[in-house]
Amino acid sequence: MYKKIAFILFVCVSYSLYGKAQSNTELLKKSNVYYLKNSGQIVDLKDSADFIRVISPPDSIDLNLFIVSDFYLNGKPKLVGKSLIPNYYLNRQGMFIEYFPNGHKKQIASYENNMQQGDVINYYPNGKFYYTYNFNKDLKQDIVTEASDSTGAMIAENGKGTWIEYDDHFKSVKGKGAILNGLKEGEWQGTFNDSVTYTCTYSKGNSVSGTSHTKSGKEYHFTKDIVSPEFEGGIANFYSFLAHKIHYPAVAKENNIQGEVFIGFWVEKDGSLSHFKILRGIGSGCDEEAVRVFKSSPAWTPGYQFGIPVRISYNVPITFRIIDRHEVNIEIGALQ
């Protein structure tokens, strides 16, 4: 499922978390190299990948953490950090630095057992400071503490001022408005999917009311800005549905095949599930069994953004584990 050492001529230099350059040979010695799509799917060829992930053995600083180095296809660094496990899907621990394709820093964040901790610092593609936020567990919202415009001029401090949300490529403004105590407040305006404009009123970070318009002139009214798709009865019922429907394939059990199957799927605008794809499999019928059960799922309540039905993609890990000859265990991971 991964390529080893075949990456030597491709990588020029890797940067560790502590700023030390490592040679190709040092980086790739006993390392695992994965070709990945942005969706998380593993592909066999570099030309089919969006980026490349190198998982290297622990260094002398911390013998329990594996070194993570992601690269764009042009060889420039995309991400550096450390993981508690040597697998491509990572269990992040400590500081992670993400880069834009032009080499400028994109984000600095810290993790504890794969959970973000403390402030997350974001940057513009031109290298200027963008904004800082931290996640409030009680409010279940990101709290913006400071923000600047693309020239570096501060527009929000101590959670008060203006904040501008851009799309992932910084080509359009997703939203712009006031923040108070780090949360959206008052009237915000923005664009969605480059084809929808909206105006939304917020109170303490929660949407109160809003109106959106498509390019064709159709108007939508809403109270909640983002509505996630939902299985009938909630996510706990979905996990229960999967746990009761998935069976351990006899061939896999007989051959002691165990591991995690990552399956991707879409919840369509009408709530139906589609485009099932094995992002990482273990074979022996386990991959097919996961797809079979997902295909049998009842329709979900569809998702909405600014009053408009949208299709949403998810990934779910499913663990097939043999406890002994007479007992097996199937664990369903969280939606990603």
Q: How does DSSP assign 303-335, residue by residue?
A: EEETTEEE-EEEEEEEEEEEEETTEEEEEE---
Residue 283 lies in a domain: yes
Within a domain: residue 1?
yes
Domain total in the chain: 2
- Domain-embedded: residue 136: no
Give a yes or no: residue 154 inside a domain. Answer: no
pLDDT tens for the 336 residues of the chain, in order: 333 333 333 333 333 343 444 455 555 557 899 999 988 888 889 999 999 999 999 988 888 999 999 999 999 999 999 999 988 888 999 999 999 999 999 999 999 999 999 999 999 999 999 999 999 988 889 999 999 999 999 999 999 999 999 998 899 999 999 999 999 999 999 998 888 999 999 999 999 999 999 999 999 999 999 999 999 999 999 999 998 999 999 999 999 999 999 999 999 999 999 999 998 899 999 999 999 999 999 999 999 999 999 999 998 999 999 987 667 788 887 777
Q: Which residues span the domain enclosing 116?
A: 1-123
| Domain boundary, last residue among 123, 140, 158 | 123
Residue 179 included in any domain? no
Residue 97 lies in a domain: yes
CB atoms within 10 A of CB 210: 21
Residue at 59 is within a domain: yes
Chosen domain end from 123, 142, 167? 123
Answer whether residue 254 is part of any domain.
yes
* Token couple for 3: 């390529």
Q: What whole-number distance in Å separates Cα of residue 7 and Cα of residue 32?
A: 10
Report the CATH number at residue 285.
3.30.2420
Domain boundary among 123, 152, 178: 123
